[in-house]
Every structure is written in C-alpha cells, then in structure tokens.
Amino acid sequence: MTFLFITHKRRKERKESNFLLIGGHHFKISYAQLLKATDGFSLANLIGEESFGSVYKGVLNHGETIVAVKVLNIRQRGASKSFTVECESLRNIRHRNLIRILTSCSSIDFEGNDFMALVYEFMPGGSLESWLHPHVDGIQDEQRHLNLVQRLNIAIDMATALDYLHHHCHTQIIHCDLKPSNILLDGDLTAHLGDFGISRILSKVTNRSQNYTSSIGVKGSIGYIAPEYGAGADVSTHGDVYSYGILLLEMFTGKHPTHEMFKDNVNLHYWAKMALHDDRVMIVVDPSLLLMEEDEEGAATTVTNIIESRRCVVQECINSIIRIGVDCSIESPGDRMNINDVVKELHLIKDIYLGVGTHQGR
C-alpha cells in the first residue's frame, strides 16, 4: 500500500500536505474537510476512544465514502510520537485482518492549534469490546451475541494478524496493545486489528536492531500487559502472545481481565487454568454462548444420541480453546505457544466443530 509519510515541522512552517488514498489515487484532505465530514467532531459521531485520541465517524466525497477519523489529543504526552509510530507501522503493511489507514492530516485548526488526525476505513460492526460487553446501561442487546463459530473466526483472524506482524512483515512489528477495543469488525464480522499507536517496529539495519517507540514505558493496557514488562523486559512477540491469550480467555468466558472478581493472586489466567484442572470448563464459559448452543441443539434435531454427540464435541472444542488461552498467557515468556501453532490449532478446532455443527462458514 502506498502511503505518504508526513514529518513534523514547526507550526509557523507547517502547511497542509495530506493525501487521501481512494482507488489507488492521492487526494488532498484538510482540517476543514475533516471538520465538515464529522459535523464538527460532534459527540453524535464519536464512535470510540484509542490510546491517544478520539475516533469519529466521517462522511467524505458527498456521502459516498464513510471513514473513521482518529483525532489525536495533542496535549497528551506521547501523542505526537504515537502519530509518527502509527504512520510508520502501517505505511508498508497490508493484510485482511489489519485496519487500513487511508490518509493522515498534520495541520493547524481554525484557532491556530496543532491538529493531527489519522483516517481509516470504517468498520460497521464496531469494536469487539461492544460485542463482548454491550451492557453499558445494564440491558444486553439480544442481537449483539456472538456464537461459537463467530468467536472462533475472530480468534483466528487475530492470531493470523499477529503471525503476519511477527513473522511475515519486512520489518517485525510488536503491537503491544492487543485488546477487544482495538479489534474492529466489518459487516461480515471479519476482525481487523487497529490502534498501532504504541507498537514497536524492529528492523535489521546494518545488522543492528532499530526500535521505534511511542513513549518510554508504555507497553500495553492493564489486564493485558505481559508480566515480564512490569519487570522492565524489552518488548517481544511473547508479550503479544500473552495479550492474545488473555483476549482469547475473555472472548470465551465473557469475563474482563480487570473484573472485580479477580483479586489477590487470582486472575483470569489462573481462574481458567483451575477450571481446566478441575474439569469444569463449561462452568466458566460465557453463559450467552451456551444459551446459543442450546438453542441450536433444539433446532437441529430431536434424536437424543445426536444431541449428546454434539454436546460432547462442543465441550471438547471449548476445552481446547480455553487451554490455548491458558498456554498463551503462561507467566514465563518462553513457555508460551508460538502464534503460528495457535493459528493451526484453532483451524483444527473449527473443523472439528463444523463437522457436527449446523453452522457453515463464517
């Protein structure tokens, strides 16, 4: 993907020089255009918060192009560096499970203040966070449940994205902030990893490692940060795998890693590990997921032995998924699973499930 990387100039020298990639062509975009596209960055168009800014829904090209506009909070420490890192991270990578950046805007607003924004493709499915924990007002939307295959697909999408970043990029990228709010879903519920604001780029330059960081000491979000980072360890692929393990456990238990039930020496990893040890994984599984499985059992057949067979396979699949989550979030970095093996095992689990399930495809 061709992308114009914009370097910063002093405010007096800075000019609007920003280009929008649509259909492979460059188009200029300005602060005024983004202001209009988002209706003045109105609260009605606010669709999310990321590490260093707010994200708004915007409409460009006379209503033909819907985009997501991330406006950086310049006053926040590390925001300018985050802008540079995110541009650097995304300018040369392209993958179906990574959010696509369309353009950037580095300019000044109408009051003479610095203004920085990133423009992405719009994801109509919203964030994974909104699907896993939609009950902000205490009422859960019946239409916002994800079934087992949908969760498996999202888990595979994210494992595939990490495998690409860690092993198949020209420069190795460590995301450093994998969590549900940074995973966006398109209309088909295909998952896309976003918010590369604190990612680390590791490239071999004359046999030396070059490390771009958004701000010293920032290595993730509470609940998802690998324990070794707290001891001062350098970022690594193992850290992303740890975050992935916590994400996987959250997706299938429905429990946020910072839930009030986790205190003292009990965390999401330990809770799931003990459930595996005691052969009671089905007790810790997200109740909404089990309710959907029960509904499908009733709709699928009334033959008792087939229903029982399906239940056994469902339990086997969920046990395997929870075990992967636990193995990815082991405290010792070197003992965690390789993300490539995670991709293979999740595909196998999906194949086993679909062999007796009523779902097809995504």
Active site residues: 177
Query: Are 10 and 4 contacting, i.e. CB atoms less than 8 angstroms apart?
Result: no
Query: Are 321 and 152 contacting, i.e. CB atoms less than 8 angstroms apart?
Result: yes
Helix axes 287-300, 304-328, angle to 10 degrees: 150
What are the tokens at 38? 């988002």
Q: How far apart are CA 308 and CA 151, in angstroms?
A: 22
Question: What is the C-alpha end-to-end distance of the chain, expressed in Å?
Answer: 27
If phi > 0 it is left, if psi is from -120 to 50 it is alpha, else beta; for residue 3 that is beta
What are the tokens at 84? 């540079």
Query: Are 243 and 224 contacting, i.e. CB atoms less than 8 angstroms apart?
Result: yes
Sign of the dihedral defined by the CA atoms of residues 26, 30, 33, 34, in that order:
positive
